Amino acid sequence: MKTTLSIIKADTGSVGGHNKPSELMVKKAKEVVENGINKGLFTDGRVTYTGDDIALLMVHSKGVDHPDIHKFAWDTFLETTKIAKSQGLYGAGQDLLKDAFSGNVRGMGPGSAEIEIEERAAEPFIVFAGDKCGPGVFNYPLFEGFASPYHNAGLLLAPEMKAGFTFHIMDVNYTEADRVISLKVPEDYYDICVLLRDPNHYVIESVVENATGLVAAVASTARLHNIAGKYVGKDDPVAIVRSQKQFPSTGEILSPWALAHLTLGDNRGSHHVAVMPVKQNTIISYFDGPTIMSAAGYCVHEGKLTEAVDYFDQPFWDVVREKASLKTLDMRAQGFYGPTMAGMDELEYTGVVENLKRLNEKFVVRKHV
């Protein structure tokens, strides 16, 4: 029997500004997930948060996009929204952008990443969850972790990976349907770079191993401004990555995160800062940020999860966090000028458009003499 790993997340309200869900909300989500296990809807589940986003990890045998699993997640987020409203929390129900559930959370606000697998004898995987970023935050670390021998030494040392990987990349500006391109390393290396250099437009949806055809990674691709037509909060994506044996090792997948790469997402979703790798259940603070990413490792066996190993809760990452703070402060020192703030294509979902319209009328055109 196949096993499906489903991670579905949403921001349904927060204590303070966009900082963290309340303890009551998290407690409620944990109770509901426990009920889901007891009722046999799924075989195991976990609840965590990253900044103001609650993530539900569910293990089941129903396959991806299953309406029962998606409805369960939607209903759980309605429950946490109810609590957020009753406590007067900020942004209650923020990511629930549609009124009625229609079979699948995709296109409704919550982010999701799902993978159906044949469990290996040992099935290690990592769940990444970010806050104050878009799905393009995974472009750099996933591409490097799979395709670059700087990080994935297995490309040089493990014969199974020699045939490389296929990257399924989505054009997230195309909103009528899913517009996807499939490109392989090593053959299409430079073409992939051409797309991934623009992480607000092209994002990695999944990674498949060429030699085995096995799906190695999946990531959420939702862009909330495409659903709402205006800025309603940042996408705050999740991803699942399998590791070891025929795949890159866990350490190889984590390696690129040591750069603390720059990404868009901080404060009003409009600023570029460095991604800080953090432990699970970390809050948001400075400048409504910085952008944070947690990484939880598990093994799944016969539908049951082990305890989590909280990868960024390890002394090595202290210096990376410090580097991320310094890089972020460097960007912030330049305020709103040039590359520190989002480009117009992202800002056009915000109030800046009104300001420009108003100012546009005050321009005078002086003839060249």
- Residue 114 binds which of ligand 13P, Mg ion, none (CB < 5-8 A, kind-dependent): none
Per-residue DSSP letter, 196? H
Give every CB contact of residue 203 below 8 A, 6+ residues apart in sequence: 134, 135, 136, 138, 139, 169, 170, 172, 219, 221
* Near ligand 13P in 272-331, by CB under 6 A: 288
- For 49, the token pair is 């948060």
Can residue 235 be called a binding residue for Mg ion (CB under 5 A)?
Answer: no
How many residues in total does the chain contain? 369
Closest-CA residue to 168 (of 179, 176, 177): 179
Q: Please give the radius of gyration of the chain, using alpha carbons only, rounded to the nearest integer.
A: 21
Closer to Mg ion by Cβ: residue 246 or 285: 285
Which of 20, 151 has the CB closer to Mg ion? Answer: 20
Please pick, among 9, 20, 132, 234, the residue that the annotation labels catalytic: 234
Task: Give min distance, CB of 52 to ligand 13P, in A.
Answer: 5
Nearest residue by C-beta to Mg ion?
Answer: 18
Cβ nearer to Mg ion, comparing 91 with 303: 91
**Residue of 29, 48, 53, 138 interacting with Mg ion (CB under 5 A):** 53
Is 85 noted as a catalytic residue in this protein? Answer: no
Q: Please name the helix (run of DSSP H) or strand (run of DSSP E) that holds residue 299, with its range, or none.
A: strand 292-301
How many residues bind to ligand 13P according to rule CB under 6 A?
18
Other beta carbons within 10 angstroms of residue 337's beta carbon come to 7
Query: How far is it, in rounded angstroms, from Cα 130 to Cα 240?
Result: 12
Structure tokens at 35: 């009920």
Annotated catalytic residue 68: no
Contact 142, 242 (CB under 8 A): no
| Residue choice 21, 134, 269, 297 for contact with ligand 13P (CB under 6 A) | 269
Chain position carrying tokens 């889901």:
36
CA atoms 293, 294, 299, 303: torsion sign: negative
**Near ligand 13P by CB under 6 A: residue from 233, 237, 290, 297:** 233
Rule CB under 6 A: say whether 151 interacts with ligand 13P: no
- State the number of binding residues for Mg ion (CB under 5 A): 10
> Is 234 a catalytic site residue?
yes
Considering 49, 202, 231, 298, which one is annotated as catalytic?
A: 231
Residues classed as catalytic:
11, 231, 234
> Could you list the residues that contact ligand 13P (CB under 6 A)?
11, 18, 51-52, 91, 94, 131-132, 233-234, 236, 244, 249, 251, 267-269, 288
> Could you list the residues that contact Mg ion (CB under 5 A)?
11, 18, 51-53, 91, 94, 131, 233, 236
